[in-house]
């Protein structure tokens, strides 16, 4: 029975890859189909024989290994049954890379520069609020509008007062012009009087000459009359002439006195005109001051009207909105807070014993326990506080954060601060399989592409935690080992796998 089953094996057993059927189903189905074509008792006997034959064949295959095939049958049947690859994977060599040693710390996100926005116009009601918390604003953008009705009315009054002051100034400038003309006229009259006085002085001098001549002629004629050389009548003529000359001198002196009086009067007129001019100029100065004051009032009201539009002093994100429609402004109550330029920082504290290991400018990897999506490998230590807290013995570090929509002031984050860099073994992050007990394994490939689980001790990650990053292997692997990457989560120890690609960290193509 056993020999018969083995002799039939070449015709009944076909490799699974060629026929796609299981060993049991091949002969059972064939014999059952044969048995089903018989009738009556003979059919039942045939069925029994077929079943028995099938059981014998199956038992023979399971109990021994078929002998080597003859050369004639080697082309139709494989020499031995082998295990086919159970999984298609990619691999990468274990390589040496630069690894950052880090200091772990926790801290709170804060705004690098939080700008409080206070109203510049006090005592005005908020009419409109145009932004809300979380809105992005640019420098100069209107964020709220205050009621400006009262200021508009005051501005109209100030403009009217300015126009009135300008009109008064024009009138007083005209008065100055008139006063200047009066001064000029008085000076002209004074000059005329002085010229007339000079003429009178000249007339007096001539009258004196004439009198002296008349007095000499009179004396000569008086002597001649005494000598009887002339008549008394001629002497009287000379006496009359001398008397007329004396009168002419007196009249000339009187005219000079009159001219002097006129000059004094003209000088008084000049002084009065100049006084009026000074008064007119003073009035102009006062009017000019009034104009400047009115212009200042108008400008002040225009400034206050401009301040009824509350504008962003800098671009950024609105962190707080305190302003509400209907509120009345005052100088001590802020309306908004703005995160200037959306710049955030992480403030962490580290022990004083670790301060010597941290330098300004070193990179920091930022993660969040609350949000696994948040992973920022590009933080930078911006400053280290110059003082250490005397109570906690810790110093504050401020870390510049890159722009990320997931970041919010007040968030609690973890920071891995780079303290030094060393060389160590690394594998792609996807190659490490984390275990329930907290350990980790990496599947390595042997020479036959069979997966072998290898427990490892991991260190820091390079480039985050995810696809495309690498992780340090402290123990368990050697440089040059081949680690399964893609598909590592679907294999087990001892599985034969099919490797479709192998990528090094030094190659540019993706897995």
Tell me how far apart the alpha carbons of residues 352 and 470 are, in angstroms, rounded to a whole number.
Answer: 31
**Angle at which helices 232-307 and 149-226 pack, to 10 degrees?**
170
Report the pLDDT value the prediction gives residue 124, as an integer from 0 to 100: 92
Residue 54 burial class via C-beta count within 10 angstroms: exposed 0-12, middle 13-18, buried 19 and up: buried
For residue 46, what are the domain limits?
Answer: 2-63
Looking at the structure, do residues 291 and 220 belong to the same domain, yes or no?
yes
**Is residue 86 in a domain?**
no
Tell me how far apart the alpha carbons of residues 43 and 34 are, in angstroms, rounded to a whole number.
Answer: 10
**Is residue 269 in a domain?**
yes
Question: Phi then psi for 211, rounded to 5 degrees?
Answer: -65, -45
Report the pLDDT value the prediction gives residue 331, as an integer from 0 to 100: 81
Which residues, other chains included, contact 264 with Cβ-Cβ below 8 Å and sequence gap of 6+? Answer: none
Q: Which of 370, 372, 374, 354 is nearest to 362 (CA)?
A: 354
Looking at the structure, do residues 154 and 271 belong to the same domain, yes or no?
yes
**Is residue 107 in a domain?**
no
Looking at the structure, do residues 172 and 263 belong to the same domain, yes or no?
yes
Report the pLDDT value the prediction gives residue 76, as an integer from 0 to 100: 37
Query: What's the chain's Rg over C-alpha atoms?
Result: 62
Beta bridge partners of 112: none
Q: What is the CATH number of the domain that holds 495?
A: 2.40.30.170
The pLDDT profile of the chain, 511 residues, written as one tens digit per residue, is 333 333 333 333 333 333 333 333 333 343 433 333 333 443 433 334 344 434 333 333 333 334 333 333 333 344 333 466 778 999 999 999 888 788 999 999 999 999 999 998 889 999 999 999 989 999 999 999 999 999 999 999 999 999 999 999 999 999 999 999 999 999 998 899 889 889 989 988 998 898 898 888 888 888 888 888 888 888 888 889 988 988 888 998 898 888 889 888 989 999 999 999 999 999 999 999 999 999 999 999 999 999 999 999 999 999 999 999 999 998 889 999 999 998 999 999 999 999 999 999 999 989 999 998 888 888 999 999 999 999 999 999 999 999 888 898 999 999 999 888 888 899 999 999 999 998 999 999 998 899 999 999 998 777 666 677 889 899 999 998 999 999 999 999 999 999 987 765 444 333 3
Beta bridge partners of 497: 87
Tell me how far apart the alpha carbons of residues 325 and 323 are, in angstroms, rounded to a whole number.
Answer: 7
Looking at the structure, do residues 173 and 277 belong to the same domain, yes or no?
yes
Tell me how far apart the alpha carbons of residues 170 and 150 are, in angstroms, rounded to a whole number.
Answer: 31
Alpha-carbon separation of residue 114 from 37, 111, 160, 329, 389 (angstroms): 93, 6, 43, 21, 24
Report the pLDDT value the prediction gives residue 504, as an integer from 0 to 100: 57
Looking at the structure, do residues 325 and 368 belong to the same domain, yes or no?
no
Which two three-digit tokens encode residue 372?
Answer: 């696994």
Looking at the structure, do residues 46 and 175 belong to the same domain, yes or no?
no
The alpha carbon dihedral of 456, 489, 435, 106 has a sign of: positive
Tell me how crowded residue 442 is: count the other CB atoms within 10 A of its CB.
Answer: 25
Residue bearing tokens 């145009």: 130
Q: What is the CATH number of the domain that holds 329?
A: 2.40.50.100
Cβ contact 57:9 at 8 Å: yes
Q: What is the CATH number of the domain that holds 296?
A: 1.10.287
Q: Which of 377, 484, 379 is nearest to 428 (CA)?
A: 484
Alpha-carbon separation of residue 470 from 368, 390, 485, 499 (angstroms): 20, 40, 11, 20
Looking at the structure, do residues 489 and 370 belong to the same domain, yes or no?
yes
DSSP state of 67: P
**Is residue 83 in a domain?**
no
Tell me how far apart the alpha carbons of residues 120 and 351 are, in angstroms, rounded to a whole number.
Answer: 44
If residue 395 lies in a helix (H) or strand (E), which one and from where to where? strand 394-400
Looking at the structure, do residues 121 and 55 belong to the same domain, yes or no?
no
Query: For the chain, first and last CA: distance in Å?
Result: 56
**Is residue 102 in a domain?**
no
Tell me how far apart the alpha carbons of residues 410 and 396 are, in angstroms, rounded to a whole number.
Answer: 16
Beta bridge partners of 475: 457
Tell me how far apart the alpha carbons of residues 333 and 186 are, in angstroms, rounded to a whole number.
Answer: 67
Q: Which of 419, 495, 424 is nearest to 453 (CA)?
A: 495
Looking at the structure, do residues 162 and 301 belong to the same domain, yes or no?
yes
Cβ contact 480:466 at 8 Å: no
Looking at the structure, do residues 348 and 325 belong to the same domain, yes or no?
no
Domain end point (choices 307, 328, 355): 307
If residue 206 lies in a helix (H) or strand (E), which one and from where to where? helix 149-226
CA angle 291/294/296 to nearest 5° reads: 110
Domain end point (choices 292, 307, 322): 307
**Is residue 280 in a domain?**
yes
Q: What is the DSSP string of 447-467?
A: TT-BEEEEEEEEEEEESSSST
**Is residue 161 in a domain?**
yes
Looking at the structure, do residues 275 and 159 belong to the same domain, yes or no?
yes
Tell me how far apart the alpha carbons of residues 443 and 427 are, in angstroms, rounded to a whole number.
Answer: 11
Tell me how far apart the alpha carbons of residues 254 and 247 are, in angstroms, rounded to a whole number.
Answer: 10
Cβ contact 294:96 at 8 Å: no
**Is residue 496 in a domain?**
yes
Tell me how far apart the alpha carbons of residues 129 and 304 are, in angstroms, rounded to a whole number.
Answer: 18
Q: Where are the beta strands (DSSP E) in 286-384?
A: 309-311, 316-321, 336-340, 344-351, 363-367, 375-384
Domain end point (choices 63, 78, 102): 63
Tell me how far apart the alpha carbons of residues 428 and 284 are, in angstroms, rounded to a whole number.
Answer: 89
Report the pLDDT value the prediction gives residue 353, as an integer from 0 to 100: 92
The alpha carbon dihedral of 183, 189, 191, 197 has a sign of: negative
Which residue stretches of 310-379 are H helix? none
Cβ contact 295:88 at 8 Å: no
Looking at the structure, do residues 287 and 160 belong to the same domain, yes or no?
yes
Number of H helices, E strands in the chain: 6, 20
How many structural domains are present in the chain?
Answer: 4
Which two three-digit tokens encode residue 28?
Answer: 């059972």
Report the pLDDT value the prediction gives residue 395, as an integer from 0 to 100: 94
Coil vs helix vs strand at 314: coil
Question: Phi then psi for 102, rounded to 5 degrees?
Answer: -125, 160
């Amino acid at each position: 029975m056993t020999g018969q089953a083995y002799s039939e094996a070449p015709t009944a057993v076909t490799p699974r890859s060629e026929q796609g059927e299981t060993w049991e189903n091949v002969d059972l189905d064939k014999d059952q189909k044969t048995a089903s074509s018989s009738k009556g008792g003979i059919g039942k006997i045939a069925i029994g024989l077929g079943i028995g034959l099938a059981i014998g064949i199956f038992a023979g295959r399971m109990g021994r290994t078929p002998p080597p095939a003859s050369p004639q049958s080697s082309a139709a049947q494989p020499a031995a049954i082998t295990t086919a690859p159970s999984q298609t994977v990619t691999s990468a060599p274990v390589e040496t890379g630069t690894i950052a040693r880090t200091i772990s710390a926790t801290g709170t996100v804060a705004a690098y520069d939080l700008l409080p926005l206070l109203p510049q116009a006090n005592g005005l009601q908020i009419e409109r609020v145009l932004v809300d918390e979380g809105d992005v604003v640019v420098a100069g953008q209107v964020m709220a509008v205050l009621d400006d009705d009262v200021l508009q009315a005051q501005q109209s009054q100030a403009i009217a007062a300015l126009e009135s002051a300008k009109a008064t100034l024009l009138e007083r400038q005209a008065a100055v012009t008139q006063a200047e003309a009066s001064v000029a006229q008085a000076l002209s009259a004074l000059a005329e009087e002085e010229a007339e006085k000079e003429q009178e002085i000249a007339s007096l001098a001539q009258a004196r000459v004439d009198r002296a001549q008349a007095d000499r002629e009179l004396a000569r004629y008086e002597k001649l009359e005494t000598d009887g050389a002339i008549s008394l009548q001629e002497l009287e003529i000379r006496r009359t002439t001398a008397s007329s000359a004396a009168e002419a001198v007196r009249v000339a002196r009187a005219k000079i006195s009159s001219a002097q009086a006129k000059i004094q009067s003209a000088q008084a007129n000049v002084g009065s005109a100049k006084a009026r001019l000074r008064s007119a100029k003073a009035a102009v100065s006062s009017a000019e001051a009034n104009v400047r004051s009115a212009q200042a009032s108008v400008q002040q009201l225009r400034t206050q009207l401009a301040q009824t539009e509350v504008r962003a002093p800098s671009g950024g994100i609105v962190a707080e909105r305190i302003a509400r429609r209907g509120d009345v402004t005052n100088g001590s109550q802020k309306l908004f807070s703005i995160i200037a330029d959306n710049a955030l920082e992480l403030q962490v504290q580290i022990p004083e014993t670790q301060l010597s290991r941290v330098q300004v400018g070193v990179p920091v990897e930022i993660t969040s326990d609350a949000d696994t999506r948040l992973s920022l490998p590009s933080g930078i230590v911006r400053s280290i506080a110059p003082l250490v807290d005397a109570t906690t013995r810790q110093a504050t570090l401020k870390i510049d954060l890159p722009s990320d929509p997931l970041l919010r002031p007040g968030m609690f984050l973890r920071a891995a601060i780079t303290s030094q860099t060393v060389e160590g073994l690394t594998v792609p992050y996807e190659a490490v399989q984390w275990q329930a007990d907290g350990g980790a394994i990496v599947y390595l490939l042997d020479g036959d592409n069979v997966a072998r689980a290898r427990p490892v001790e991991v260190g820091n990650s390079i480039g985050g935690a995810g696809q495309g990053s690498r992780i340090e292997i402290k123990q368990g692997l050697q440089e040059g080992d081949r680690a399964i990457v893609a598909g590592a989560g679907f294999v087990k120890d001892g599985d034969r796998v099919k490797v479709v690609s192998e990528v090094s960290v030094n190659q540019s193509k993706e897995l």
